[in-house]
Amino acid sequence: MKKKSKDFKKIKFRPGYNFFHTATFRLTLWYLGVFSLLSIAVFAVVYVFLAAHLYDNTDREIMDTANEFSTLYREHGVKALESEFIREASSRGTKRVFFELVSLNGKLLAASDLHHWKKINLKCAKVFKNENLKNTLCLCTLVLPGHHHKTRVVAVSAFDGNIIRIGITLKGDELLLERYRETFGTALLIMIVCGGLIGWLMARKAMSGIKRITQTAIRIGKHDFGQRVELTGEGEEISALAHAFNEMLEQIESLMEELHEITDNIAHELRTPITRIRGMAETMLKYTENIDEYMEMAALVIEASDDLIEMIGTMLEIARTDSGAAGFALKPVNIQEIVEEAADLFLPAAEDKKIKITMNLLPEHVVVNGERSKLQRVVANLIDNAIKYTPSGGKISLSVNIAGKNVKIEIRDTGKGMEEKDIPKIFDRFYRCDKSRSEPGNGLGLSLALSIVRALGGSISAKNTYPGASFTIFLPQKRRLI
């Protein structure tokens, strides 16, 4: 136990606290990772759609221009087409576009200003069908020497077999996409910083309940058992954990109080018989040499020792039952048989005091889920208690009834009864009413009965009935006997 305690202190109070190993930091990383991946995915989708939209617009522009040039060439010839090439290139910018009319053997027939354009190779071009022109359409994207940006090129077969070739730089589209990437990169960096901060705050808020429980556990480790975890709104899971922790603390505090009480009771109750045994032995040693007196003293010592053994055994049984370590072998039990057997057992003792025992039982079996020997002890303790405090000529009545989903067992006597101030304490360990001081007993019988009944999910109570008193037991009913 000492080794475990030292290890626990090392864990709780180690000086090398590392924030990067905390659950808060790990939750923040998870949140930030998921947030970043989703943001990048959204950017990628938008980027693909934006790029496709820009390229579609460029292709539409090129094909519209090719359609116009093809019509002009068919209607007005090469000179008119070349003039339109020059005018259109000047209007759009000679660095941005070029226009050519070439023969099938590659001879240049007409062109715009090609000063900024090298010879173009269209071997990589993909062939499409131009439904408007009803001729072959060649579209491709090229990386031309001397140009930092890609060029979109279209080649159209004219009515006489010559080829109208149009090229337009994608500089504007690429600059727009580049600006989009830069903007997103900056925005992503800002979102990551803000998202990390928000994620840390959310994780810290989520873990605040765990932190409160930890702090409470540390205080409890310093023997402050009155501490409780405050229930707040972190969520059902944290609230359930805090509630369970508080219930555990209630049980621990109750057990600690019982431990102190039992310790005090043991110290008080065991002192008397031990002192008595020692006194008898000391008296025999000092004042007598008669063997018969020694034999009598030995018998008294054995009797007192048996009382001590019985008291210690009962205390241990109560402690095991209250802690849940008793391990009852639960089976269906006919409680009426238990009552009848107990009445038969104590009938001779009742007849010696001229006490009449009557029973009011139900005609059918009444079954509870329990351990037969434990239930026998409960009923026997209550009947023995009733006989003990019922004067000669009195009566004891035993009854079994159904009360809702429970079985009600009542033991009523016409004895001395109890003072009202004693009733709340009647089931406490070692508690004995003033009227019972003259009767033999150790004050543990009713405590044991209460422990067993509670362990079986029932309850037990006492009250005055004038004359006498009654003890009532409620146990959950089992519907059928197996």
Q: Binning pLDDT at 50, 70 and 90, where does residue 361 land?
A: confident
Model pLDDT, residue 410: 92
Mean local confidence (pLDDT), 296-315: 76
pLDDT at 343 over 50: yes
Please indicate whether residue 459 or residue 133 has the higher confidence score (pLDDT): 459
Q: Binning pLDDT at 50, 70 and 90, where does residue 130 land?
A: very low
CA 172 to mean position of chain CA atoms: 56
Model pLDDT, residue 473: 92
Mean local confidence (pLDDT), 117-129: 51
pLDDT at 263 over 80: no
pLDDT at 132 over 50: no
CATH for 331-478, options being 3.90.1300.10, 3.30.565.10, 3.30.70.1070, 3.40.47.10: 3.30.565.10
153-194 confidence digits (pLDDT tens): 888 888 888 888 888 888 888 888 889 888 888 888 888 888
Q: Binning pLDDT at 50, 70 and 90, where does residue 119 land?
A: low
- Any idea which of 272-281, 347-356, 412-421 has the lowest mean pLDDT? 272-281
Model pLDDT, residue 124: 37
426-452 confidence digits (pLDDT tens): 887 776 665 544 555 567 778 888 888
Model pLDDT, residue 10: 39
Determine the topology of domain 22-214 in CATH. Answer: Beta-Lactamase (3.30.450)
Mean local confidence (pLDDT), 7-14: 42
Both structure tokens of 285: 């040693």
pLDDT at 89 over 70: yes
Q: Binning pLDDT at 50, 70 and 90, where does residue 404 land?
A: confident
Model pLDDT, residue 434: 52
Q: Binning pLDDT at 50, 70 and 90, where does residue 472 land?
A: very high
pLDDT at 9 over 60: no
Model pLDDT, residue 441: 59
Q: Binning pLDDT at 50, 70 and 90, where does residue 267 land?
A: low
Model pLDDT, residue 480: 54
Model pLDDT, residue 264: 66
Mean local confidence (pLDDT), 51-56: 88
Where do the domains of the chain lie? 22-214, 236-323, 331-478
Provide the percentage of residues in the chain whose pLDDT is more than 90: 7
pLDDT at 66 over 60: yes
pLDDT at 144 over 80: no
pLDDT at 12 over 50: no
Q: Binning pLDDT at 50, 70 and 90, where does residue 127 land?
A: very low
CATH architecture assignment, domain 236-323: Orthogonal Bundle (1.10)
pLDDT at 43 over 60: yes
- Any idea which of 14-18, 166-170, 400-404, 439-443 has the lowest mean pLDDT? 14-18
Q: How much is the mean pLDDT over the chain?
A: 78
